[in-house]
């Protein structure tokens, strides 16, 4: 196999411990042929090969976002964007603007509101939306995705009234004086409304994923672990068949499809280097922002609120066992410390029984832990799949609702010190898929404006740039069972890499935020920045 592309005069961070740095890299087919010095690799050049002078630019393995909702992210780019709105009035202005251009009777949907950014950080109500329009049903998901805000027409269409019972694993917020629903729906109560929203057509899903692909590639992302179901999987397959898939996908299986997966015989790892099945995605609790994360002790100032068990401990044990027996790993959403404990207990039960010992189970988010549970990740071989930007965005919430327990919130350093593997992602569209913002958050534990202090929030849990990048490359590849082909730049590995505007290892931490992907290469093909090289 001869080379087709040779990169020289670069500052290459390979993430390969046997050869961490190099200046040149040769690509043949979809793989790395060689890594080393310019003079040595130029000897591999054959007629027709392209040689690219990087002029000292920095190269890393392509980034792998280990947790996001790719189709939802693409669709979110078409919805009402409430991210960053600084007041209830600002959010309502965006809804009103969309209502003016939408025919009466059609749903208005959006996401991204966060009441903690507002001067009065209280949950909004249906009457706020009713004042904007009574001609459109409206449903707006909170930034975390675990709470929704509906207007009266949406509640009416969904059949939600004061007499509607809370669904299992969910809650309908009610006015304490009247018992009427306020318009806020938590966890599985959101499904009462969301089932009335039209699902995207297959071609609309393809268009949304195509849009998200361009954005992801522009951020140096070459692989994703997608936490969605069949609509996204069909779109990925369609784009691959058309030759338009420009990143690699580890596709999860929703818990609702577990029986079908078992019956069909699908197992973790089935697929190829472009689309592969990962694990069964299960929810154990809610979120911090919705105060529905399941806690050992109640929320600060709410003595009766321990959060919501979306799945009971018994249910988790049963489902983890069923999946493991069928050869399927589990990736379980757990945010509260009780939820994390329940998931660790469920996985420990299968490990003790010798079921699926080869499977790499994961906890998604792992946002707050009890001290006794930190070492259990490494002991049980459970990967901590975490999203650093959640930490910096949730500081105010964590301090308010978890208080001093926040010492072990987003405990990256403690988990690493215990021997656990970290895999980093974004949870897009909950947060931006820009991994540079994630790396900055992991390294500094402070926001872009410096909040809460120069030292960062619980700075003992900061990690190095090396550790943060590792979690977006090697750690994410390991979490998907693909470390033999992804995550490092070494001979025989997939030629997935990113060229950066500056070296994040050498700049001040705040300058990481301005680092951009000059070019992105997937399988030896330049998918972003063709003109920049």
The dihedral region occupied by 410, where left means phi > 0, alpha psi between -120 and 50, and beta the remainder, is left
CA nearest 460: which of 402, 401, 389, 412? 412
Mean pLDDT by 10 residues, the chain (533 residues): 82 97 97 97 89 97 98 89 92 93 89 89 93 92 89 93 92 94 93 86 93 97 97 98 98 98 98 98 94 96 95 98 98 98 98 97 98 98 97 95 98 98 96 97 96 97 98 98 98 98 98 98 96 87
**How confident is the model at residue 248, as a pLDDT?**
98
Contact 533, 51 (CB under 8 A): no
Q: What are the tokens at 284?
A: 């154990």
Report the distance separating Cα 469 and Cα 412, nearest Å.
Answer: 13
CA dihedral of 503, 34, 224, 234, whole degrees rounded to 10 = 150
CA nearest 362: which of 268, 469, 498, 245? 268
**How confident is the model at residue 1, as a pLDDT?**
44
φ, ψ at 114 (rounded to 5°): -145, 105
Report the run of H or E that residue 171 belongs to, with start and end. strand 170-174
Residue with tokens 């290469």: 521
Per the DSSP assignment, residues forming a β-bridge with 6 are: 26, 51
Residue with tokens 């992801």: 216
**Domain residue extents for the chain:** 80-194
Give one DSSP letter per residue of 125-161, joined into a string: -HHHHHTT-SSS-EEEEETTSSEEEE-HHHHHHHT--
Considering only CA atoms, give the Rg of the chain.
23
> What is the three-class DSSP state of 73?
helix
DSSP single-letter state for residue 299: P
**How confident is the model at residue 343, as a pLDDT?**
98
Report the distance separating Cα 110 and Cα 143, nearest Å.
Answer: 10
Report the distance separating Cα 286 and Cα 309, nearest Å.
Answer: 7
**How confident is the model at residue 46, as a pLDDT?**
85
Report the distance separating Cα 295 and Cα 353, nearest Å.
Answer: 27
pTM of the predicted model, to two decimals?
A: 0.88
| Structural domain 80-194, CATH architecture | Roll (3.10)
User: What is Dmax (Cα atoms) for the chain?
Assistant: 80
DSSP single-letter state for residue 249: E
Report the run of H or E that residue 318 belongs to, with start and end. helix 313-325
> What is the three-class DSSP state of 66?
strand
Angle between helices 337-352 and 313-325 (to 10 degrees): 40
CA nearest 482: which of 224, 236, 257? 224
452 preceded by a cis bond (ω within 30 of 0): yes
Residues 6+ apart with CB under 8 A from 286: 146, 186, 187, 292, 293, 294, 307, 308, 310, 335, 336
Q: What are the tokens at 527?
A: 């998918």
Instruction: Write the burial class of residue 449 (CB in 10 Å: 0-12 exposed, 13-18 middle, 19+ buried).
Output: exposed
Angle between helices 202-218 and 230-241 (to 10 degrees): 70
Long-range contacts of 443-450 (CB under 8 A, 24+ apart): 443/468, 443/509, 443/512, 444/509, 444/510, 445/391, 445/392, 445/410, 446/392, 447/392, 447/393, 447/395, 448/510, 448/513
């Amino acid at each position: 196999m001869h080379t087709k592309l040779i990169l020289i005069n670069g500052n290459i961070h390979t993430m390969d411990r046997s050869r961490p740095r190099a200046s040149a890299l040769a690509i043949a087919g979809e793989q790395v042929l060689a890594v080393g010095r310019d003079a040595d690799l130029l000897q591999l050049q054959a007629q027709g090969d392209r040689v690219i002078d990087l002029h000292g630019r920095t190269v890393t393995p392509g980034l792998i976002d280990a947790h996001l909702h790719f189709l939802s992210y693409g669709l979110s780019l078409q919805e009402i964007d409430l991210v960053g709105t600084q007041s209830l009035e600002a959010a309502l202005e965006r809804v009103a603007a969309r209502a003016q251009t939408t025919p009466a009777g059609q749903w208005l949907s959006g996401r991204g509101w966060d009441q903690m950014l507002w001067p009065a950080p209280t949950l909004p109500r249906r009457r706020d939306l009713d004042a904007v329009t009574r001609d459109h049903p409206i449903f707006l998901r909170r930034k975390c995705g675990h709470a929704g805000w509906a207007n009266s027409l949406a509640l009416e269409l969904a059949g939600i009234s004061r007499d509607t019972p809370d669904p299992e694993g969910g809650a309908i917020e009610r006015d304490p004086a009247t018992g009427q629903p306020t318009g806020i729906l938590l966890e599985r109560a959101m499904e009462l409304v969301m089932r009335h929203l039209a699902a995207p057509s297959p071609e609309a899903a393809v268009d949304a994923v195509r849009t998200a692909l361009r954005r992801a590639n522009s951020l140096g992302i070459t692989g994703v672990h997608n936490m969605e179901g069949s609509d996204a999987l069909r779109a990925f397959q369609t784009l691959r068949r058309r030759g338009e898939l420009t990143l690699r996908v580890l596709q999860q299986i929703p818990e609702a499809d577990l029986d079908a997966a078992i019956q069909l015989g699908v197992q973790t790892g089935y697929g190829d280097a472009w689309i592969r099945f990962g694990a069964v995605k299960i929810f154990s609790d809610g979120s911090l922002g919705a105060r529905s994360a399941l806690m050992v002790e109640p929320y600060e100032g709410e003595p009766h609120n321990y959060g919501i068990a979306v799945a009971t401990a018994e249910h988790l044990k049963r489902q983890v066992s069923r999946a493991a027996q069928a050869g399927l790993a589990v990736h379980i959403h757990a945010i509260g410390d009780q939820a994390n404990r329940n998931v660790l207990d469920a996985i420990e039960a299968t490990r003790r029984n010798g079921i699926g010992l080869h499977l790499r189970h994961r906890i998604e988010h792992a946002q707050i832990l009890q001290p006794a549970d930190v070492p259990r990740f490494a002991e049980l071989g459970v990967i901590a799949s975490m999203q650093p930007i959640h930490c910096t965005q949730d500081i105010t919430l964590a301090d308010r609702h978890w208080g001093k327990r926040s010492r072990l919130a987003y405990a990256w350093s403690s988990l690493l010190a215990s021997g656990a593997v970290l895999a980093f992602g974004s949870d897009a569209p909950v947060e931006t898929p820009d991994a540079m913002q994630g790396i900055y958050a992991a390294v500094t534990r402070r926001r872009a404006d410096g909040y809460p202090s120069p030292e960062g929030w619980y700075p003992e849990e900061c990690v190095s740039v090396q550790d943060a990048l590792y979690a977006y490359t090697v750690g994410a590849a390991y979490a998907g069972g693909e470390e033999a082909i992804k995550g490092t730049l070494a001979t025989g590995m997939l030629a997935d890499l990113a060229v950066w505007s500056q070296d994040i290892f050498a700049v001040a931490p705040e300058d990481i935020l301005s680092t951009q992907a000059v070019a992105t290469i997937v399988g030896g093909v330049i998918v972003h920045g063709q003109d920049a090289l």
